[in-house]
Amino acid sequence: MPKSVPHHALVVVADGHGAILLRNEGPAGDVSLREERRLSPKNLRDEGPSGSRPPEQTPRQTDEATFAKQLAEALYKMKQSGDFKDLVLVADPQTLGQFRDAMHKELEASIVLTLAKELTNHSIAEIADALR
């Protein structure tokens, strides 16, 4: 990996159905993750990602894009309140793209590492191994 995971970085492992928020408790370069909380989609039908759904997009794809938007908003609020300085994103390529589309510039500036892999159903140890 070109960059290491900084100490106390927030590691977000996400897909279109949920996210796991982990904290790196190891020193920079040594990944030792602890789970902080899990996020799941809320009020998908009421919010929507933005605008109207393209005709070629399925309702499931719309829900996934809506969750990516909700995740970006939640992380931006956390960033604003000083919950983290460095952010590591781990998500499948589609979720990463949707997340980037919804992300605030300040949140984008805090990203130190991105990993395009689907790891939400993996153990914390397997996630840590993927980041080493």
Looking at residue 51, what is its pLDDT?
Answer: 54
pTM above 0.85?
Answer: yes
| Residue 44 within a domain | yes
> Could you tell me the mean pLDDT of each successive run of 10 residues in the chain, 132 residues long?
83 96 93 96 61 68 87 97 98 95 95 96 97 92
Looking at residue 52, what is its pLDDT?
Answer: 57
| Residue 27 within a domain | yes
Structural domain boundaries, residue 127? 10-131
Q: Are 31 and 13 in contact (CB under 8 A)?
A: no
| Residue 107 within a domain | yes
Q: Is 96 helix (H, G, I), strand (E, B) or coil?
A: helix
Q: In the chain, how many domains are there? A: 1
Nearest of 21, 35, 120, 127 to residue 74 by alpha carbon: 21
